[in-house]
Amino acid sequence: MKSMLSALFLFFITVAQSQTLVSMSHDGLLRNFIYYKPSTWESSQTLPLLIVLHGLTQTATGIMEITDFNTIAEENNFIVCYPSGINNAWNANMNVSVSSTDDKGFIEKIVAYFQLNFNTDSQKQYLCGFSNGGFMSHKMACESEECFAAIATVSGNMSDTVYANCNPKYLTSILHMHGTTDAVVPYLGSITTGVSVSQTMDKWQQFLGCDPNPSSIDLPNPNLLDLSTVSRETYANCNNSSLELIKIANGGHQWPGISTFVGGVGNINMDIYSPQVIWDFLNGKSCPNAGLNDFNLGSISVFPNPFNSEITIEMNKEIASIELKDLNGKTHFFTTQKLGKIETDFLNSGIYFLEVKTSENQLIIKKLIKH
């Protein structure tokens, strides 16, 4: 285990009390993230993990300072992580391309990093994001092999591609927060940004099995100078999940409750403090099926998981390659032959990724744990 842990990251520096910057290799690139763990953290604890994704042109440091989720993490005893997108962007399959990087794999690797190094709770993993980060959060909920118990988005939505191909593997609870006069990501959708907010909510309502017509309540309007009001739409009878829309009438492309000139456009609603609203929604949500179980994707199965001395691979697809990598991207096994078993006695304990590429150029990635 010691040798595995020593290879997990290339750069590791504490930048403030309980706040740390980490760099790791992924897909041939050096990727960065900042995390904050509460001052009372102990290695025996199993804490929730919140990953916060910045908007286009923004930074991990910037969204950390704007939202101050660190304070909420300190007060509520969870770990919060702020990754950095390549060129300050996330590959959320946007209608107008902003990135082609494997950000889905990077975020999944971050999750594995915290599970391995901080024993974070695999049943209580959460995502939230602003704008492009919100688009990425919806993509992760639609496509990831990891279970995120809940996501929350601010001024983000689904691209047309993600909307058309959304096929979630878990019942992820969804909180969507959006201004009706958002000029960057229009509430009614656009050619450049994708579907409307209503279409996104309908998509999740169908996946989660909620009643189709939400109940709506107007929230208090203590600040009359912000020229906006807030309503909460709640969908009932969802299957082991929750679905809510925070609708900001006359709200812009902004974090509600945060008065800042950085990264936003339009009216800032000051009736609610969105980071706290987000955590109140996420807190306690759990993935009942988030354990590392055997999986079956199409006609390829891998088991057992966790494993000890060997793993078995069953498939009826033609394969191009099978590769086993550690968290740092180092390859420990590679073959272009179709195999039934891989002997793994030579591996240290830890988290690995099995990458199977089919002859149809489909890439299937599965996270595995070696005892």
Assigned token pair, 28: 């041939």
Tens of pLDDT, residue by residue over 43-72, are 889 999 999 999 999 999 999 999 999 999
Sheet hosting strand 295-297, strand order edge to edge: 295-297, 300-303, 310-315, 341-343
Name all domains of the chain by residue range, CATH numbers in brackets. 2-282 (3.40.50.1820), 295-370 (2.60.40.3080)
CA separation for the pair 265, 198 (Å, rounded): 22
Rounded Cα–Cα distance for residues 70 and 52 (Å): 11
pLDDT single digits (tens) 262-290? 557 889 999 999 999 999 999 999 986 43
Contact 114, 146 (CB under 8 A): no
pLDDT of 295 > 50? The answer is no
* Residue ranges in 23-125 assigned as alpha helix (H): 60-67, 69-76, 103-118
Is residue 11 pLDDT above 70, yes or no? no
Q: Using an 8 Å Cβ cutoff, are 300 and 82 in contact? A: no
Encode pLDDT of 116-137 as tens digits. Answer: 889 899 899 999 999 999 999 9
Length of the chain: 371
Predicted structure pTM score: 0.79
Q: What is the predicted pLDDT for the residue at 261?
A: 58
Residue 333 exposed, middle or buried by CB count within 10 Å (0-12, 13-18, 19+): middle
Q: Buried b vs exposed e over 189-214: b needs ≥16 C-beta within 10 Å?
A: beeebbbbbeebbebbbebbebeeeb
Give the CA angle between residues 74, 55, 198 to the nearest 5°: 100
Task: Band the pLDDT of 27: cuts 50, 70, 90.
Answer: confident
| Dihedrals phi, psi of 282, to nearest 5 degrees | -70, -40
Positions of E strands within 92-157: 125-130, 150-154
Task: Name the residue among 80, 134, 136, 126 with its Cα closest to residue 105.
Answer: 136
Q: Is 265 helix (H, G, I), strand (E, B) or coil?
A: strand
CA separation for the pair 162, 142 (Å, rounded)? 7
CA 261, CA 268: separation in Å to the nearest integer? 10
What are residue 29's DSSP bridge partners? 26
Q: Are 232 and 244 in contact (CB under 8 A)?
A: yes
Q: What residues contact 308, with CB distance under 8 A and at least 6 apart?
A: 344, 370, 371
Model confidence at 366, pLDDT cuts 50, 70, 90, reads confident
* Least confident range of 12-16, 214-218, 354-358: 12-16
Collect all residues with Cβ–Cβ distance below 8 Å to 231 and sequence separation of at least 6: 216, 217, 218, 219, 246, 247, 249
What's the mean per-residue pLDDT of the chain?
A: 88
Q: What is the pLDDT of residues 197-210, one digit of tens each?
A: 999 999 999 999 99
The edge-to-edge listing of strands for the beta sheet with 363-370 is: 331-335, 319-326, 350-358, 363-370
Band of the pLDDT at 15, cuts 50, 70, 90? very low
